[in-house]
Chain A
Amino acid sequence: MRVLAAMSGGVDSAVAAARAAEAGHDVTGVHLALSANPRSYRTGARGCCTLEDARDARRAADVIGIPFYVWDMAERFAADVVDDFVAEYARGNTPNPCLRCNEKIKFAAVLDKAIALGFDAVCTGHHARLEPAWPGGPIRLVRSVDPAKDQSYVLGVLTGEQLSRAMFPLGDSTKEQVRAEAARRGLAVAEKPDSHDICFIADGDTRGFLRARLGPAPGPIVDHDGQVLGVHEGSYAFTVGQRRGLRIDNPAADGRPRYVLDIEPVSGTVKVGPAEALDVDDITAVRPVWSGRTPPDGAIDAIVQLRAHGETFPATCWLEAGTLRIRLHSRARGVARGQAAVLYDGEIVLGSGTIAAARRVAAPVRA
C-alpha cells in the first residue's frame, strides 16, 4: 500500500512510520505545519509546531529512508481546531482539540488530500489498535495494550470510512517498547519528551489564551441557592468540576471546598457547589458516530469513558431521536459538556458522541 505517515517530530510517529516502511508499504512522511508562524525554539516539551519538530521529523524520515514533505495545514487547523476551541469555551463547553484535530485535520483534510494524491492510507503514531472483527471482517478500533498511553478515546470520533483508511502501527506496543525501538533504529527522537498540553498554546496558559481572544466577560459566581459569592472575569476560564481559581472570599457554610457545577454562557453565570453535586448518571450526547459499526437499534450495555485518560463507567446506552442517551450504572463526578463520551465493549470502541447535557436522575445518596 502507498502510505502517508503523519510525522509530528515525536518518537511515536517516527516509529510508526518506520514500522509501516518495514512492513513493506511504500511510505512517504509528511509533517503537518499547523501554525502559520512557527516558533523557532521549542518551549519545554510542548507543542508540535516548532521548526525543531519539523527538523526532527525530517531527520527521522531520512534515517528511515523515506521521502519527506511538509504540508501547510495552518489555515484549516486555525479554522477547524483553534477557532472551534475558542467558540466552544465561549459556549460554556470544554472541548478536546486533539479529538477535533483527528476528526477534521488528520483523518479528513490530510486523508482526503492523501487519497487524491494516490495514497491508500494515513499512518499515525497513535496508541490504539485496528483489528478485524473476524478474519477478513470489518475493522474495529481497539485500545492500546499500554493502558497509560491508550489514545482510542481521541480516535473515537472517527467514522468507519476514516478508520478503514487509517493505520496505527503502535497499538501492540507500550511506550517503553516504542522508545527502545526508536533507539535501536537510530532515531534521534528516542529520548524526546512526550508532548503534553495543547499544541497551539505554547506556554500552557489556556486561560490567558482564551482571555486574549474572548476579552473580559465578567459575571457572577453563585451557589445552588442563587446567592452571589463573587465575580469572575470570564466564564470561559472555568470547567465543570474545577475547584481551583474560584477566588471566593466567604467560605461555604459547611466549610467544605466548592466546585464548578455548571456554566451558563449567556449570562456568564458560574454555578458552584459541593463535590457531590457534581455527580451525574444521565448523559445526553450529540453527533453520534459508530466507528464503522451499525448503530444500535435498542438499548445496549457499554463501558463509557467521559474524558481523555478518565475512568470508565458501565452504562446502558440507546439512540433517541438521533441523540445518544447514556445512563450510567454508577455516578460520574464532573462531566463537562463538549467532551466526548466514548463507548466501549471491553477494549473495543463502539462509537461516541459529544456530551451536550449531564444530570442526575435520582436524589444524591447521603454519605
Chain B
Amino acid sequence: MVNPEARAVYLDHAATTPMLPEAVAAMAEELARTGNPSSLHNAGRRARRVVEESRELIAQAFGARPSEVVFTSGGTEADNLAVKGFYWARQADGRRPRVLVTAIEHHAVLDCAAWLGEHQGANVEWLPVDSSGLLDPDVLRSAIERDSESVALVSVMWANNEVGSVQPIADLAAVASEHEIPFHSDAVQAAGQLPVSLASSEATALTITGHKIGGPVGAGALLLARGDDPVPVLHGGGQERDVRSGTLDTAAIRGLAVAVEHATARKAEHASRLARLRDDLISRVHAAVPDAILNGPAPGERRLPGNAHFSFPGCEGDALLMLMDARGVACSTGSACTAGVAQPSHVLLAMGADRARARGSLRFSLGWTSTQSDVDALGEVIGEVVERARRAARQAGDGQVTLRAGIPVAVPGPTL
C-alpha cells in the first residue's frame, strides 16, 4: 500500500531524528583516524584530546563540570547506570530498599526499577501523575517523608517521550536534595528542546543521548554530579572515573559533541519554531477530527515543543499507524511492543485513560528537519485515515463476515 510517489513525511523525531550534517562530517573524519584515548602514545593523545574537548563542550552545554560527564552507549545504558548503580551504592551504609520512580518513565528506567524489585530486594513505588502526565512535588515529598531514611533513589524523567509532559524538575530535585537522596532524571527528550542543566536543576544525575538531538545512535552520557558515585554496571578498564568501563568511542563522542554544540546554540529559536508548527498541527488535527483528544499538558511551558499526542476515539492505534504509513506519513503509537503487538500505553493508563483510549492513540513528534509542508501533509490525510480506522474497528468488533454489496470483487486466483 505504499505509494512510491508520496513524499516521505517524517513525524517521528522522538524515536530518532536525522543526524546534523556537521555531526556526520565530524564523525566521518574521526572514523578515519586511529588511537585509543587511553593509550599513552601520540595516536592515543590525539584521540584523548578529541574526547576531552567533546567532554568540555557537553559539560558546558548542560551546566556540568567536565569531570561530571560520563560517556555511555546511549540513554538506556545511562539510565541503567543511574537507577541500578545508585540503588546498589545506597545499600553500602544501611538498607535502603525504596525506589521512587514515576509510573510514566521510559522502559529504560521502568524496567530497571522493576528488575531491582524482582531480583534485588527493592521496594519500588510508582509515583502517580495527574491526568496530563505531571508529577506534583508534594506527591514526591509525601512519598519520601513516609520514611525518608529508606529511600535509595528517585528517578523522574524531564520530559515524557509519549505525551511530552515537562516535569518541574528543579522543584522535584530540591525535595530529594533536602533529604540527601540521589535524584536522577532521564532528559533524553528534553535535551534538544529545553534548557537542561545539571547545576541549576540540582539533580544528581541526568541522562542524555545523541540520536534525539542530531547526533549518532550509540553515544550518550550520564551527567553525574560529583559526590557518591553509583556502583558500575560495566566493569573493566576503569575508564570514565571507574564508573563506566569500556574503550571510548572517539568518533561517536565527537559526533555527539558537535550535535550538542549546534543544538545548544539554536535551542531557543528551535523550540519556538517547533512550538509554532506543533500548535498548527494540533489545530489541523482538531479541524479534521473534532473529537480527537490531545493527551498531555496544554501547549505551553509544561509541554515539549515538538510533541503532539492524540487519542482518536473508536480507532486502533495499529490500524492508524498502518494507514498513515501507507500514505507516507511516519509517526508512532508511542507505546512499547512485544512481538510488535501494540500494548496499551502505560503512560496513558497512568494518566487515567481507559484501555480503549490508550490503544487508539498516535504520537506526532517534530524535529529540526520538520517543515510546514509536513504539517500540511498530515492535515490532508488525518481525517480520512481516522474515518477508515474507525470503520475497521467496527468491523473487527462484530465477528461476522459482513462483506458489503457494491465492493467490486475481483477474481484473484488466476491472475497470479
Contact = CB atoms under 8 A, between A and B. Distances in A.
Interface of A: 1-2, 19-20, 23, 26, 28, 31, 33, 38, 51, 54-55, 58, 67, 69-72, 74, 76, 80, 104, 107-109, 111-113, 115-121, 129-132, 136, 139, 159, 161-162, 164-169, 171
B371 to A, nearest CB: 24
Interface string B376-408: 000000000000110110111011111100010
Given A1-B412, A28-B1, A69-B322, A113 B392 contact: yes
B409 A117 contact: no
B401 A132 contact: no
A38 B338 CA distance: 8
A contact face: mostly helix, strand, loop, or mixed: mixed
B396 A109 contact: yes
Contacts of B392: 113, 116-117
B405 to A, nearest CB: 10
Contacts, number: 123
Given A67-B325, A70-B318, A108 B403 contact: no
Contacts of A171: 413
Interface string B1-43: 1100000000000000000000000000000000000000000
A276 B326 CA distance: 60
Given A38-B341, A69-B322, A116-B395, 5 more contacts: A38-B338, A67-B322, A104-B399, A118-B1, A120-B412
B92 interface: no
A117 B339 contact: no
A107 B1 contact: no
B1 A67 contact: yes
A313 B321 CA distance: 50
Given A69-B318, A70-B339, A168 B413 contact: yes
Contacts of B396: 76, 109, 112-113, 116
A169 B400 CA distance: 25
A31 B339 CA distance: 10
B303 to A, nearest CB: 30
Contacts of A162: 401
A132 B414 contact: yes
A129 B415 CA distance: 12
B399 A109 contact: yes
Contacts of A55: 339
Q: List 6 tightest A-B contacts by C-beta distance, closest first.
A: A130-B413, A70-B340, A116-B392, A112-B395, A116-B395, A54-B339
Contacts of A104: 399
Contacts of B337: 70
5 contacts: A51-B338, A67-B322, A70-B318, A70-B341, A117-B319
B413 A136 contact: no
Interface of B: 1-2, 318-319, 321-323, 325-326, 337-342, 388-389, 391-392, 394-396, 398-403, 407, 409-416
B412 A54 contact: no
A168 B340 CA distance: 25
Nearest to A54: B339
A67 B340 contact: no
A35 to B, nearest CB: 9
B1 A51 contact: no
A116 B339 contact: no
A108 B1 contact: no
B10 to A, nearest CB: 16
A130 B410 CA distance: 12
Given A2-B1, A132-B413, A117 B318 contact: no
From B323, B396, B399, name the one whose CB has the most chain A CB atoms within 10 angstroms.
B396
Contacts of B409: 164-165
B338 A116 contact: no
Contacts of B416: 19-20, 23, 167, 169
A26 B395 CA distance: 22
A28 B392 CA distance: 16
Given A2-B1, A70-B318, A129 B340 contact: no
A67 B325 CA distance: 9
B326 A67 contact: yes
B120 to A, nearest CB: 22
Contacts of A119: 1
B323 to A, nearest CB: 6
A20 B416 CA distance: 7
Contacts of B400: 108
Nearest to A39: B339
B415 to A, nearest CB: 6
Nearest to B359: A72
Given A107-B401, A113-B319, A67 B2 contact: yes
Nearest to A112: B395
Given A38-B339, A70-B339, A130 B401 contact: no
Contacts of B415: 1, 23
A109 B401 CA distance: 7
A144 to B, nearest CB: 13
A2 to B, nearest CB: 6
Contact of A117 (B323, B338, B340, B414): B323
A70 B389 CA distance: 16
B45 to A, nearest CB: 44
Contacts of A161: 401, 403
A107 B409 CA distance: 15
B389 A33 contact: no
B326 to A, nearest CB: 7
B316 to A, nearest CB: 9
A113 B315 CA distance: 12
A119 to B, nearest CB: 8
B72 to A, nearest CB: 27
A69 B1 CA distance: 12
Contact of B414 (A111, A121, A131): A131
A76 B411 CA distance: 28
From B319, B323, B339, B415, name the one whose CB has the most chain A CB atoms within 10 angstroms.
B339
